Amino acid sequence: MYVAVKGGESAIENAHRLLADRRRGDRSLPAITEAQIVEQLSLSVDRVMAEASLYDPGLAALAIRQARGDMIEAIFILRAYRTTLPRLAVSRPVDTAAMRIERRISATYKDLPGGQLLGPTFDYTHRLIDPALVGEPDVPEAAVAEVTGEPVMRVADILAHESLIELEPRVDAEPGDITREPTEFPMPRAERLQSLARGDEGFLLALAYSTQRGYGRSHPFVGEIRIGLVEVEIDVPELGFAVSLGEIRLTECQMVNQFKGSAEKPPQFTRGYGLVFGQSERKAMAMSLCDRALRAAEYGEDITAPAQDEEFVISHCDNVQATGFVEHLKLPHYVDFQAELGLVRRLRANYDAARAAEPEDDSFEEAAQ
Amino acid sequence: MTAIEAASADLSSAQHERARRLALLARASRDELEAAWAALPVQPSVTALRGPETGLVMLRGRMGGDGAPFNLGEATVSRASVRLGDGSVGHGQRLGGDRQAARLSAIFDALAEGGDRVAVDALCAAIAARVEADAAREAAETAATRVNFFTLVRGED
């Protein structure tokens, strides 16, 4: 238990001043700007927005700068800022089929309508440190090619033609909101997806990896990953129609999983879904694997692995909660510890007394056994 | 802009036009809005009806992309509503924390509602041209990364 203490005000003040100094670093170097972070460390910005559950690139960049690049600290700051703003509206569900595509790949179909569009990917790079990036090298403009205008069809719709994949029921029920309602298990899938979308990338990645290694295997294929810009629209009552607020970048992963069938359901492919702010492919893939693993009960599968355990996954995927509870251990626990110290001293005294009372030569006891 | 046009298919032509205008104003840069404001031959008197204010919009997705909705996470949004001297009312709303841009958007919406189309139409045409040019360039850059498969000659033939 944490007990409030007073004192150390000037130490704290000077520590924060020192933090500001170290954050600025060598004054002979120019200070980094938020715009530079947004433009040149954009995937860090995307991760902070996703896990803070707040889409605002400029604020996320400021949080990264304030946190000296500590991602979880930046996520914490942005998540905290979120709580200071009123919620003005709820958007219409974004239409990822109408996404302005920046990347789209499928591991299940080679030739598919719209094609395989690699976009700005690290895939097929050699992962070798590139000394040519040092300094300010001239970077050539991106190559261009003629746009075919062919619609970029969803992979799920291709499988749906053969009825070989489960269909998502298109109902417009009002989804629960984990930021407004207490956490209860079992949790509806809508709230699980909301939790996973802001869950820690490393935690979800490790769980996703565990399913591949046999802890809740789900035979996954990447049906499709798409990254791009979607329109955000809200209904404005005084106007009587939906109004566009602009676009946001999202990454969507459709994982397609083998399912042998059950008494109720014929053999078919089932789906795991990932949708994440920004260009966050690894996170979207991990999210879709975790989503599918957490649907085990729906398909009558045995729940044997951590990734299938809803309460375990959802309760521990939030890095702001996790860091709060782990890091609180460093706060003063002086009184608590004094109590434990007294207890351990008493136990030790009893233990020593009991040992002293035992016969000096224990060979008798050993012989008796 | 195809999504906006599809979503507003069942609207009246006046509503359709306003939805398009608001979508373009939401994409305008602060510089574009301020330059257009400074260039107005007569700047109208403006009364604030609401805001400008910054808050949150909860963004929703659909399970599997096409199923039931779920809450994905929030985004910052700024909005403003204004009334001009002639009584016309306008609304501005956009992603992000730029309240001044939301207020200027509301003013241009109100100007158009009041029948003062020339400046607003020119502004919207300029925004549309920029947005479409950016989208076309980005699409062309993405198209250049399209994989064109070819089949290798197989050994067993």
| Domain coordinates in residue numbering, chain B | 2-126
Question: B1: how many CB neighbours lie within 10 A of its CB?
Answer: 15
**What is the average pLDDT value for chain B, to the nearest integer?**
90
Beta carbons of B149 and A53 less than 8 Å apart: no
Judge whether A20 is closer than 8 Å to chain B, CB to CB: no
Closest listed residue to residue A280, CA positions, set A48, A37, A56: A48
Q: Above 70 in pLDDT, residue A368?
A: no
More confident residue, A159 or A47: A47
Out of A219-228, A253-262, B147-156, give the one with best mean pLDDT: A219-228
pLDDT at A153: 87
Q: Above 80 in pLDDT, residue B125?
A: yes
Judged by CB atoms within 8 Å, which residues 41-80 of B form the interface with A? Answer: 53-77, 79
Axis-axis angle for helices A189-197, A281-293 (nearest 10): 150
Q: How sure is the predictor about A171, in pLDDT bands with cuts at 50, 70 and 90?
A: confident
Q: B7-31: per-residue pLDDT in tens?
A: 445 678 888 999 999 999 999 999 9
Whole-number Cα distances in Å, B17 to A226, B6, B125: 31, 13, 13
Q: Above 80 in pLDDT, residue B156?
A: no
Q: Tell me the C-alpha distance between A333 and A4, whole Å.
A: 9
Task: List the single residue in B with minimal CA-CA distance to A272.
Answer: B64
Q: How sure is the predictor about A200, in pLDDT bands with cuts at 50, 70 and 90?
A: very high
Least confident of A19-33, A172-186, B89-103: A172-186
Conformational region of residue A221, where left means phi above 0, alpha means psi within -120 to 50, and beta covers everything else: beta
Stretch A40-52: mean pLDDT, rounded? Answer: 98
Q: Above 70 in pLDDT, residue A360?
A: no
ipTM of the complex: 0.91
If residue A341 lies in a helix (H) or strand (E), which one and from where to where? Answer: helix A334-357
Two tokens, residue B58: 């909860």
Beta carbons of B4 and A233 less than 8 Å apart: yes
- CB nearest to A85's CB, from B54, B65, B140: B54
Q: How sure is the predictor about A162, in pLDDT bands with cuts at 50, 70 and 90?
A: confident
Q: B26-79: per-residue pLDDT in tens?
A: 999 999 999 999 999 889 999 999 989 999 999 999 999 999 999 999 999 999
Q: Tell me the C-alpha distance between A48 and B5, whole Å.
A: 32
Two tokens, residue B64: 């599997």
pLDDT at A284: 98
Judged by CB atoms within 8 Å, which residues 107-136 of B form the interface with A? Answer: 135-136
Beta carbons of B72 and A110 less than 8 Å apart: no
Residue for token pair 């944490």: A2
pLDDT at B1: 44
Judge whether B83 is closer than 8 Å to chain A, CB to CB: no
pLDDT at B2: 45
Beta carbons of A56 and B138 less than 8 Å apart: no
- CB nearest to B72's CB, from A82, A236, A275: A275
pLDDT at B6: 45
Q: Above 70 in pLDDT, residue A342?
A: yes
Q: How sure is the predictor about B157, in pLDDT bands with cuts at 50, 70 and 90?
A: low
DSSP labels, A15-79: HHHHHHHHHH--TTSPPP-HHHHHHHSHHHHHHHHHHHTEE-HHHHHHHHHHTTT-HHHHHHHHH
Least confident of A39-53, A147-161, A197-211, B57-71: A147-161
Q: Where are the domains of chain A?
A: 10-23+31-82, 96-124+144-324
**What is the average pLDDT value for chain A, to the nearest integer?**
92
Closest listed residue to residue A289, CA positions, set A305, A278, A303, A274: A274
Inter-chain contacts counted by CB atoms under 8 A, chains A and B:
242
More confident residue, A349 or A260: A349
pLDDT at A341: 94
pLDDT at A127: 93
Q: A116-143: per-residue pLDDT in tens?
A: 999 999 999 999 999 988 988 889 999 9
* 3 state SS of A104: strand
Judge whether B150 is closer than 8 Å to chain A, CB to CB: no
pLDDT at B37: 95
